[in-house]
Amino acid sequence: MQGGGIVILAGATKGGAFQCTTTNGAFDLVPELYNGRALFRKRDDKTLWLRFTKGNNWMVSSTASKDANSDSGWEFAPGADSDLPPVSG
């Protein structure tokens, strides 16, 4: 995480252009916890979130998936022991 509560996701190349555009980019920390962890909103698409799921993964997902607290979305990284998204994965 960079200073000021920003996570930059980069390097997604699988899943086609939509998935890469969806997951790559800057996510800003929001002032609320989600499943006991930090919650981030995509800077250039306010309908996308980087969040910690009930399945103990960090995942990029839609507002609908976040609001339903479901385990659906794009790109994920295991993070059961991490308060913040992993540096790689």
Count of structural domains within the chain: 1
1 in a structural domain: no
Expressed as residue numbers, the domain containing 74 is 6-78
Please spell the DSSP secondary structure of 13-29, one letter per residue: -SSHHHHHHHHSEEEEE
88 in a structural domain: no
pTM of the model: 0.82
Residues 53/37/25/43 CA torsion (nearest 10 deg):
110
Question: Hey, what amino acid is at 68?
Answer: A
* Nearest in space to 44 (alpha carbons), one of 26, 61, 70: 26
Q: Which two tokens stand for residue 4?
A: 């000021």
Render pLDDT for 34-76 as a digit per residue (tens, 0 to 9).
999 999 999 999 999 999 999 888 889 999 999 999 998 877 7
85 in a structural domain: no
